[in-house]
Chain A
Amino acid sequence: MTDKAQVVIIGGGATGTGILRDLALRGISAVLVEQGDLAHGTSSRFHGLLHSGGRYAVKDKEAARECIEENLILCRIAPSCIEPIGGLFVEMQGDDPEYTEKWVSACAEAGINAEETDVQEVLKSNPALSSNITRAFKVPDCAVDGFRILWGNVNSARKHGAKVITYSKVTKIHQENGSVTGVELLNKLTGEKKTIECEMVVNAAGAWAGEVAAMVGLEVNVIKDKGTLLAFNHRMMNKIVNRLRPPGDGDIFVPHGTITILGTTSQTVDSADANKPERQEVLDLLKIGKEMVPEIENFRLVRAFAGVRPLYQPGSSATGRSVSRGFALLDHQQMDGLNGFVSIVGGKFTTFRLMAERTADLVAEKLAVDAPCRTAQEPLTDPVPEELLKRGKKVFGIPGAKKAAERLGDDFARVIEEAEQNAEKRQVFCECEMVSRAEIDFVARDEDCHTLGDIRRKTRMGMGTCQGTFCGYRTLGALNKYEKFARSHREYLSVFLQKRWKGIRPVLWGQQLREAQLALGIYCSLFGMERMK
Chain B
Amino acid sequence: MNKTNELALDNCIKCSICVTHCPVAKVTDKFAGPKQNGPDLERFRLEEPLAVHPSIEYCSNCKNCEVACPSGVSISTMNCRAKGEYVAKNGAPLRDRLLANVELMGDFARLMPGLVNWGGKVKLFRELAERIFNISADMTLPQYASKTFYELYRENKPPVSAKKVVYFPGCYVTYNTPEVGLALVKVMAHNGVEVLVEEFNCCGVPLIANGLLADAKNNARNNMRKLEKYIDAGYQIVTSCPSCNLALRREYGELFDMEKAHRLAEQVIDVFEYLQVLAENGELKTDFKHLSLTVGYHQPCHLKAVGCGVPSKGILDLVPGVEVNDLDAGCCGLSGSYGFKKEKYAISQEIGRQLFQAVKKKGLNRVITECGMCQLQIHHGTGAEVYHPIQVLAEAYGLGSDIK
A residues bordering B, Cβ < 8 Å?
127-128, 233-236, 238, 255, 257-258, 295, 298-300, 397-399, 402, 428, 431-432, 434, 464-466, 469-470, 511, 514-515, 518
In this assembly, does B229 line the interface, its C-beta being within 8 Å of a C-beta of chain A?
A: no
Contact A398 B48, beta carbon cutoff 8 Å: yes
Instruction: Write out the residue numbers on chain B whose beta carbons fall within 8 Å of the beta carbon of A466.
Output: 13-14
Contact A128 B4, beta carbon cutoff 8 Å: yes
User: How would residues 47 to 60 of chain B score, 1 for a CB under 8 Å from any chain A CB and 0 otherwise?
Assistant: 11011111000000
> In the complex, A299→B10 CA distance in Å?
7
User: How would residues 32 to 72 of chain B score, 1 for a CB under 8 Å from any chain A CB and 0 otherwise?
Assistant: 00011001110110111011111000000000000000010
Q: What distance in Å separates the Cβ of B375 from its nearest Cβ neighbour in chain A?
A: 37
**Pick from A258, A300, A397: contact of B47, CB under 8 Å:** A258
Residue of A nearest to B37 (CB): A397
**Pick from B10, B12, B48, B53: contact of A402, CB under 8 Å:** B48
Q: What distance in Å separates the Cβ of B41 from its nearest Cβ neighbour in chain A?
A: 7
Q: What distance in Å separates the Cβ of B367 from its nearest Cβ neighbour in chain A?
A: 39
B residues 58-96 in Cβ contact with A at 8 Å: 71
Contact B13 A465, beta carbon cutoff 8 Å: yes
In this assembly, does B334 line the interface, its C-beta being within 8 Å of a C-beta of chain A?
A: no
Contact B47 A235, beta carbon cutoff 8 Å: yes
Given A127-B3, A234-B46, A235-B46; A399-B41 close (CB under 8 Å) = yes
Residue of A nearest to B42 (CB): A234
Contact A469 B48, beta carbon cutoff 8 Å: no
**Pick from B9, B14, B71: contact of A234, CB under 8 Å:** B9
Q: What distance in Å separates the Cβ of A490 from its nearest Cβ neighbour in chain B?
A: 23
> In the complex, A434→B43 CA distance in Å?
11
Contact A431 B14, beta carbon cutoff 8 Å: yes
Instruction: Write out the residue numbers on chain A whose beta carbons fall within 8 Å of the beta carbon of B4.
Output: 127-128, 234-236
> In the complex, A238→B43 CA distance in Å?
13
In this assembly, does B281 line the interface, its C-beta being within 8 Å of a C-beta of chain A?
A: no
Q: What distance in Å separates the Cβ of A187 from its nearest Cβ neighbour in chain B?
A: 37
Given A234-B43, A300-B10, A511-B13; A128-B3 close (CB under 8 Å) = yes
> In the complex, A255→B46 CA distance in Å?
10
Dominant secondary structure at the A interface:
loop
In this assembly, does B161 line the interface, its C-beta being within 8 Å of a C-beta of chain A?
A: no
Instruction: Write out the residue numbers on chain B whose beta carbons fall within 8 Å of the beta carbon of A257.
Output: 47
Contact A299 B13, beta carbon cutoff 8 Å: no
- Considering the complex of A and B, which 7 residue pairs feature the smallest CB-CB distances, nearest first? A300-B10, A127-B3, A399-B44, A399-B51, A235-B46, A466-B14, A295-B2
Contact B12 A465, beta carbon cutoff 8 Å: yes
Contact A233 B3, beta carbon cutoff 8 Å: no
> In the complex, A497→B79 CA distance in Å?
31
Q: What distance in Å separates the Cβ of B53 from its nearest Cβ neighbour in chain A?
A: 5
Contact B46 A397, beta carbon cutoff 8 Å: no
In this assembly, does B11 line the interface, its C-beta being within 8 Å of a C-beta of chain A?
A: yes
Given A233-B43, A234-B46, A466-B13; A397-B53 close (CB under 8 Å) = yes
Residue of A nearest to B46 (CB): A235
- Residue from B3, B13, B35, B52 having most chain A Cβ neighbours under 10 A: B13
> In the complex, A235→B47 CA distance in Å?
7
In this assembly, does B5 line the interface, its C-beta being within 8 Å of a C-beta of chain A?
A: yes
> In the complex, A80→B71 CA distance in Å?
36
Given A127-B2, A234-B4, A398-B51; A431-B40 close (CB under 8 Å) = yes
Instruction: Write out the residue numbers on chain A whose beta carbons fall within 8 Å of the beta carbon of B3.
Output: 127-128
Residue of A nearest to B16 (CB): A470
> In the complex, A298→B51 CA distance in Å?
25
In this assembly, does B15 line the interface, its C-beta being within 8 Å of a C-beta of chain A?
A: yes
Given A234-B43, A257-B47; A432-B14 close (CB under 8 Å) = yes
> In the complex, A511→B73 CA distance in Å?
12
Residue of A nearest to B43 (CB): A258
> In the complex, A397→B40 CA distance in Å?
12
> In the complex, A238→B3 CA distance in Å?
14
Instruction: Write out the residue numbers on chain B whose beta carbons fall within 8 Å of the beta carbon of A295.
Output: 2
Contact B11 A465, beta carbon cutoff 8 Å: no
> In the complex, A234→B11 CA distance in Å?
11
Contact B14 A469, beta carbon cutoff 8 Å: yes
Q: What distance in Å separates the Cβ of B18 from its nearest Cβ neighbour in chain A?
A: 12
- Residue from A238, A432, A464, A465 having most chain B Cβ neighbours under 10 A: A465
> In the complex, A257→B47 CA distance in Å?
7
Residue of B nearest to A294 (CB): B2
18 A-B residue pairs with Cβ-Cβ distance under 8 Å, sorted by A, are A127-B3, A128-B2, A234-B9, A235-B46, A235-B47, A238-B46, A298-B10, A299-B5, A299-B10, A397-B51, A397-B53, A399-B44, A431-B14, A432-B43, A434-B44, A465-B12, A515-B13, A518-B13
> In the complex, A61→B330 CA distance in Å?
68
Given A234-B9, A398-B51, A399-B51; A298-B14 close (CB under 8 Å) = no
In this assembly, does B1 line the interface, its C-beta being within 8 Å of a C-beta of chain A?
A: yes
Other CB < 8 Å A-B pairs besides A298-B5, A398-B50, A432-B43, 11 of them?
A: A127-B3, A234-B10, A235-B4, A238-B46, A295-B2, A299-B10, A398-B51, A434-B40, A511-B10, A514-B71, A518-B15
> In the complex, A398→B41 CA distance in Å?
10
> In the complex, A402→B50 CA distance in Å?
12
Residue of B nearest to A402 (CB): B48
> In the complex, A233→B9 CA distance in Å?
9
Contact A298 B13, beta carbon cutoff 8 Å: no
Instruction: Write out the residue numbers on chain B whose beta carbons fall within 8 Å of the beta carbon of A434.
Output: 40-41, 44
Residue of A nearest to B50 (CB): A398
Instruction: Write out the residue numbers on chain B whose beta carbons fall within 8 Å of the beta carbon of A238.
Output: 46-47
Q: What distance in Å separates the Cβ of B35 from its nearest Cβ neighbour in chain A?
A: 7
Q: What distance in Å separates the Cβ of B262 from its nearest Cβ neighbour in chain A?
A: 19
> In the complex, A431→B47 CA distance in Å?
17
> In the complex, A399→B46 CA distance in Å?
11
Residue of B nearest to A257 (CB): B47
Contact A298 B15, beta carbon cutoff 8 Å: no
Contact A398 B53, beta carbon cutoff 8 Å: yes
> In the complex, A509→B71 CA distance in Å?
15
Instruction: Write out the residue numbers on chain A whose beta carbons fall within 8 Å of the beta carbon of B35.
Output: 431
**Pick from A233, A235, A298: contact of B2, CB under 8 Å:** A298
Q: What distance in Å separates the Cβ of B310 from its nearest Cβ neighbour in chain A?
A: 30
> In the complex, A428→B40 CA distance in Å?
11
Instruction: Write out the residue numbers on chain B whose beta carbons fall within 8 Å of the beta carbon of A464.
Output: 43
Q: What distance in Å separates the Cβ of A17 from its nearest Cβ neighbour in chain B?
A: 27
Q: What distance in Å separates the Cβ of A518 from its nearest Cβ neighbour in chain B?
A: 5
Instruction: Write out the residue numbers on chain B whose beta carbons fall within 8 Å of the beta carbon of A235.
Output: 4, 43, 46-47
Contact A511 B40, beta carbon cutoff 8 Å: no
Instruction: Write out the residue numbers on chain A whose beta carbons fall within 8 Å of the beta carbon of B36.
Output: 428, 431
Q: What distance in Å separates the Cβ of B74 from its nearest Cβ neighbour in chain A?
A: 14
> In the complex, A428→B36 CA distance in Å?
10
Q: What distance in Å separates the Cβ of A19 from its nearest Cβ neighbour in chain B?
A: 33
Residue of B nearest to A234 (CB): B43
> In the complex, A3→B248 CA distance in Å?
75
Residue of A nearest to B8 (CB): A511
Instruction: Write out the residue numbers on chain A whose beta carbons fall within 8 Å of the beta carbon of B53.
Output: 397-398
Instruction: Write out the residue numbers on chain B whose beta carbons fall within 8 Å of the beta carbon of A465.
Output: 12-14, 39, 43
Instruction: Write out the residue numbers on chain B whose beta carbons fall within 8 Å of the beta carbon of A431.
Output: 14, 35-36, 40
> In the complex, A416→B52 CA distance in Å?
19
Q: What distance in Å separates the Cβ of A460 from its nearest Cβ neighbour in chain B?
A: 12
> In the complex, A411→B290 CA distance in Å?
76
Instruction: Write out the residue numbers on chain B whose beta carbons fall within 8 Å of the beta carbon of A515.
Output: 13-14
> In the complex, A527→B36 CA distance in Å?
26
> In the complex, A434→B32 CA distance in Å?
13
- Residue from A127, A295, A399, A515 having most chain B Cβ neighbours under 10 A: A399
Instruction: Write out the residue numbers on chain A whose beta carbons fall within 8 Å of the beta carbon of B50.
Output: 398
**Pick from B11, B39, B48: contact of A399, CB under 8 Å:** B48
